[in-house]
Amino acid sequence: MKRVVLSIMLFCLPAVVCFPQKSKPPVNSDTAKQPSIQQITEIPAAEWKILIESVQAENWGKSILLSSGYLAKVKAENDKKQIARLRYILLYALAGKIIASSFSGKKTEEDKARGELEKAANGFLNKEFFMPSREISIDCQGKLN
């Protein structure tokens, strides 16, 4: 029995020594490539128009993509309150995506959108929002206010 164990060990020893796993070099966070996002101070009118049109057309995927991209690009609030507006648009588009997914019966898409909405809403705590103005009438006379 000892000879069998010894012969197996002698047979396997060269395989362990000659063919070890190669170790990967450690990833240095300084040298890791970070995606560079060009910082801007204001979203141009033409690009803002594209965003607004996608929201009006209820193209929720495009609206989410554009608004989150612009939020990453614009870091300082400007006189047009674009960051506050973008926060509102992002949450509005995510809510629209949830409703659209719910009506179409796409449960996994709906759950994913709910997670995205919760993550975005938690990230916007104590931040400024700028909602569209709405006319509020005192005497609505049966009309929806």
Q: What sign does the dihedral 93-96-102-103 (CA atoms) show?
A: negative
**pLDDT at position 49, please?**
93
- In the chain, where are the structural domains located? 45-123
Percent of the chain, pLDDT > 90?
Answer: 25
| Residue 83: pLDDT over 80 | yes
**Alpha helices for 74-144 (secondary structure H):** 82-104, 107-123
d(CA 97, CA 100): 5
pTM of the model: 0.64
- pLDDT tens digits, one per residue of 24-58: 666 555 444 545 667 778 888 999 999 999 999 99
State residue 133's pLDDT score: 65
